[in-house]
Amino acid sequence: MVTDMLKTKDILDEKDKRLRLVSKEVTFPMEKEDIDHINEMIEYLTNSQIEEEAEKYDLRPGMGMAAIQLGIPKRYLTIVHEVEDGFDTYVIVNPKIISNSVEKIYVEEGEGCLSVNREVDGIVPRFARVTVEGYDTDGNQIRIRAREELAIAFQHEIDHLNGVMFYDHIDPKDPFKGQNEYRAI
């Protein structure tokens, strides 16, 4: 483990106005610095979901991260999704949701964010299934079909690239509005 690995303190807090920026499209070939940031994001997200590593390095658990959360206003994100036999890692540059389900879902215990260091009550309606198109780090077009938890992660991270925080989707007058219309996961 390298000593200069990404730490929780390196992630922008919700009070930082840069999180409200709309990130810029990435041009190819990608800069080495951006590839390095992607690798740091993957390392952080993976280690943060392994209990011993998270404790050892004082990492807040997270599944996804957008470049803007590190103060980099560029359109790329990483998701490290825990599966039965390890992790599936997704890196997508210039992502766009090209289709979605009609069905909406929400995270029953509430959505969280590495940039939000507090509990936020309320329903964040998300599409149950999405198809995301974008590019890998070499500029090859990719398409990912995601459902349930993974679909929520893609929508959450793409929101970051557009300057949107998850709690922007919560109705301030009725935080649990839609609870009976959407499926909890």
Residue 157 among the catalytic residues: yes
CA distance readout (Å), 19 to 63, 141, 150, 171: 18, 27, 22, 20
Could you tell me if 98 and 66 are in contact, meaning their C-beta atoms sit under 8 angstroms apart?
no
CA distance readout (Å), 118 to 7, 111, 121, 167: 18, 11, 10, 11
> Of the candidates 114, 136, 32, 33, which has an alpha carbon nearest to the alpha carbon of residue 66?
114
Q: How many CA atoms lie within 13 A of 27 on its CB side?
A: 0
Terminus-to-terminus CA distance in the chain, angstroms? 34
CA distance readout (Å), 53 to 4, 126, 181: 15, 30, 39
| Catalytic hit among 40, 43, 111, 157 | 157
Kind of pairing between the strands at 126-127 and 183-184: unpaired
Positions marked active-site = 157
